[in-house]
Structure 1
Amino acid sequence: MFRNEARIVINRFWHSLILGLMVVSGLAMPGRAEETVGPSAESLASARAKATEFLIASQQSDGSWTSEKQPGITGLVTFALLEGGVKPDHPAVTKALKHLTAYVQPDGGIYHPETGHKNYETSITLLAFRAANTNGQYDALLKKAVEFLRGIQWDEAEGADPSQPAYGGQGYGRSKRPDLSNTAFFLEALKSSGVAPEDEAMQRALVFISRCQNLESENNTTEFASKVNDGGFYYTPAGGGNSQAGNTAEGGLRSYASMTYAGLKSMIYAGLKEDDPRVKAATSWIRKNYTVTENPGLGQQGVYYYHQTFAKALSAMKVDQFEAADGTKHDWRKELAEHLFQTQAANGSWLNKNDRWMEGDPNLATSYALMALKYCEPKTAVK
């Protein structure tokens, strides 16, 4: 419906963005001596433009993507479009936001009442509304959503004792056990809302996140802490513990990359510095397992989710050249972006042939890739 108008608007936007990125990368400034990191500005802009065109064209008539009963996916696509440079007043975005407002509940949450994904859907849609809140029109909605998320965190109000593995975490909803992925989106939503690292909700979440790390310490005295002890992260210590990468013969929970990057960035959001033993241990794990071609520990499972959390974590670390365990320094922005350029389909989408966690849905996979590319813009390196 909006295809021709969308193409005109997007082409104008990307033309101006290319020029801007060229200035940042030094391409438009002959004689500039500073070292730059990141991919070609033109290639990045082209990939993002094709991705946004694909997503806009795949929007359903009611404003949703994939399913009208899954506001989490529509929220992710909307947020990805906004992160990708599409303006909040673009017809596809306004139509999506109108669709999402139908899921605003009396308790302040933004979720489908039948999915049981209260935290996940509220956290994701909050990010979309926050990114579109250019003139304060969503202030009241956002305030209530933050209050709702605080209210369903696993803490004393939910009968969780600080000594219990579930304490401080977030799951899909109140009736589910908490996990690191949902807790990471929860923290991202709080951070986008200006919640400070020292806030009680952030610090309670840090308690849970620390217990998702394979690191025996005063911060993690769970039964799993010493069984692997490699500094990586797993899905959850609650409800008997679970790692999507499986268990060791001794009953340990194997670390894997997507949760390790999610845990690391969440610790940084909660105020931990690079000299904290938990951050050091996580950094050591990713130095040994650095790659952009797979999700270490899971192969191609969840690889596009991995890409976006990889990019967010390394950006949060404020590192331009990431040094792997073998001493190789990686321009991670350039490497990630160029890998995504190579795997992008002709129609602008990305698709995971391994469809675990719904990455066989090109709307979802493309949204993750577009979110990752947001952090790959060329910049002057910090020396």
Structure 2
Amino acid sequence: MIDRAIRFLRPRQDAKGGWSTQREPGITALVVTALLRSGQVPPGDSMVTRAFKYLEDFIGAKGGLSEAPHANYSTSIALAAFQQANVNGRYDRVIKAGQDFLKSMQWDESEGKTRDDAFYGGAGYGGGNSRPDLSNTAFFMEALRDTGLPADDPNLQKALVFVSRCQNLKSEFNDQAWAGKINDGGFIYTAAQGGSSMAGKEANGGLRSYASMTYAGLKSMIYAGLSREDPRVKAALTYITRHYSLEENPGLGQQGLYYYYHTFAKTMSVLETPTITDAAGVSHDWRAELVAALAKRQQADGSWVNPADRFMEGDPNLVTAYALLALAYTRLQTKRS
């Protein structure tokens, strides 16, 4: 399965060294990270070195991929790639500059935001001038943790404030008007500007939770140092046991399915648990079930693609990267410290 995916991606690398470069460099960063984490493509492979050259062209004076259209998103993902290939400190300076750039993109006091503002601690696609959302904030936090920052880093703790406000859980950590209207422990897309969910809203104004953001939120809380005993983590775990599925992205159906697979697998790896027990009491070997779900969806040419083309999942380069990353996390246990 992995070999076939790599054989699909290799000839699709374009003359610039990237994949889907007409869109943005974040896709290339995901692809090269997936290739490296597959365990079958070494950092010295020409496909990888060409991809890094393409990514490095977006590095600006501010550090990070500041010349990319979606600078925060692309930098967050690219840092994972640079870290994966950081042999003998080759990319130490790039990674440190990228960390500093990401920190500058976070909504906090430097943008005049205080903790009582729903933007506080979050990050968006482009940084300080774009609305923060949970997906980009989760990538932001993952990049900082995966490149060595501790859970108690001030920027990660600020991000936790935003993440907590994206949870459907009325508590001291979420003061938004909609927080208790559904109150199922799941997560929405953003708490900013009154809140928004890709899954829509209920008649009472409650914003519907959906699984891909719930796993992103749960992973982010673990990265920020919360334990399983924290009420926010407990509530998120309750949601995922009630909505366990590898046939759909619960709350969105087939939309965003491969982003969901990728985020689900990374979160389960971070949780360091081999099984998950659903609300009916059935224990699931999530690794085996995820491998089976991906195997039956792989195309004849080795790619994956989502017929439900929302969130760019009609792009087989992007979706194949998500699938390869998900497969990598079925083999690798992700360190939290």
**Residue 234 of structure 1: SS of its match in structure 2?**
coil
For the 8 Å contact 2:122–2:159, the answer to whether it is kept is: yes
> Secondary structure, in 3 states, of the residue corresponding to 1:209?
helix
Secondary structure at the aligned position of 1:322 is classed as strand
Amino acid at match of 2:62: D
Query: How far apart are the structure 1 equivalents of 2:82 and 2:30?
Result: 11
- For 2:132, what is the secondary structure of its paired residue? coil
How far off is 1:268 after superposition?
A: 0.4
Deviations 1:168-209 (A, max 9, x none): 011112211100000000011001111000110110011100
- The separation in 2 between residues aligned to 1:291 and 1:122, in whole angstroms, is 31
Counterparts of residues 157-176 of structure 1 (less than 5 Å):
157-173=110-126, 174-176=128-130
The counterpart of 1:194, out of the listed 138, 148, 164, is 148
**2:103 maps to which residue?**
150
Q: 2:46 aligns with which of 74, 91, 94?
A: 91
SS at match of 1:375: helix
Residue 249 of structure 2 aligns with which residue?
295
The SS at the match of 2:248 is coil
Partner of 1:253: 207
Q: Deviations over 1:285-308 (max 9, x none)?
A: 000000111100000100000001
Match of 2:56 in 1: 101
Q: Distance in 2 between matches of 1:94 and 1:102?
A: 13
1:358–1:327: structure 2 CA closer, same or farther, 3 Å change rule? Answer: same
- Identify which of 1, 12, 21 aligns with 1:67: 21
Match of 1:23 in 2: none
Misfit runs of 4+, over 3 Å: none
Residue 74 (structure 2) aligns with: 121
**Is 1:274 paired with 2:228?**
yes
Match of 2:312 among 351, 355, 358: 358
Shift, 1:377, TM fit:
2.5
Higher relative contact order (CA 8 A, sep 6+): 1
2:79–2:95 CA contact under 8 A, matched in 1:
yes
Question: AA paired with 1:133?
Answer: N
Query: What is the CA-CA distance between 1:240 and the residue it aligns to?
Result: 2.0
Q: What residue ranges of structure 1 are gaps of 5+ in the alignment?
A: 1-46
- Residue 241 (1) aligns with residue 189 (2): no
The alpha carbon displacement at 1:314 in A equals 1.1
Q: 2:217 is matched by which residue type in structure 1? A: G
Aligned amino acid, residue 47 of structure 2:
A
- Structure 2: distance between partners of 1:326 and 1:169: 35
Give, as a single letter, the amino acid of the residue that structure 2 aligns with 1:305: Y
Q: Deviations over 1:47-75 (max 9, x none)?
A: 11111111112111220101255111111
In the alignment of these two chains, the number of paired residues is 331
8 A Cα contact 1:70 1:112, kept in partner: no
Matches of 1:98 and 1:250 in 2, distance apart?
51
Letter of the 1:169 counterpart: G
| Residues 269 and 332 in structure 2, CA contact (< 8 A), matched pair in contact too | no
How many Å separate the matches in 1 of 2:15 and 2:182? 49
Partner of 1:7: none
Q: 1:378 to 1:193 in 2, by over 3 A?
A: closer
Q: Which amino acid aligns with 1:187?
A: M
> 1:71–1:112: 8 Å Cα contact kept in structure 2?
no
Q: TM-score, normalised by structure 2?
A: 0.96
Q: How far apart are the structure 2 equivalents of 1:378 and 1:331?
A: 15
Q: Distance in 2 between matches of 1:376 and 1:127?
A: 18
Specify the code of the residue in structure 2 equivalent to 1:142.
Answer: I
CA distance in 2, matches of 1:125, 1:377: 22
Once residues 153 and 119 of structure 2 are traced to their aligned partners in structure 1, the CA distance between those partners, rounded to angstroms, is 19
Per-residue deviation, 1:111: 4.0
Residue type matched to 1:377 in 2?
Answer: R
Question: CA shift at 1:318, angstroms?
Answer: 1.2
Residue 87 of structure 2: aligned partner: 134
**Cα displacement (A) at 1:378:** 8.9
**CA displacement at 1:252 relative to structure 2:** 1.1
SS at structure 1 position matched to 2:117: coil
Matched, 1:305 2:259: yes
Is 2:209 aligned against 1:224? no
Shift of 1:109: 2.2
Q: How far apart, CA to CA, are the structure 2 residues paired with 1:88 and 1:68?
A: 25
Q: Deviations over 1:202-248 (max 9, x none)?
A: 10011100000000000111112111101000000101211000011
Task: Give yes or no for the alignment of 1:185 onto 2:139.
Answer: yes
Tell which structure's C-alpha radius of gyration is larger.
Answer: 1
